């Protein structure tokens, strides 16, 4: 009786290029948090 609802496999089209980089650097930044205040207890 056990069967499972599972997504069916399907190709996901995506354009890909073939340029290869031999290592490198990135400059990474972060999103800031926002703040909310509540009274809980």
Interacting residue ranges for another protein, rule: CB under 8 A: 1-41
Q: How many whole angstroms separate alpha carbon 11 and alpha carbon 15? A: 12
Minimum gap (Å) between residue 35 Cβ and another protein: 4
Q: How far is the CB of 27 from another protein (least distance, A)?
A: 4
- The C-alpha atoms of residue 20 and residue 38 are separated, in whole angstroms, by 50
Cα–Cα distance measured from residue 25 to residue 19, given in angstroms and rounded to the nearest whole number: 16
- Please state the closest distance from residue 31 (CB atom) to another protein, in A: 5
């Amino acid at each position: 009786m056990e069967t499972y609802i599972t997504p069916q496999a399907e190709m996901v089209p995506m354009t890909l290029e073939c340029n290869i980089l031999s290592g490198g650097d990135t400059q990474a930044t972060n999103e800031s948090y926002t703040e909310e205040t509540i009274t809980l207890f």
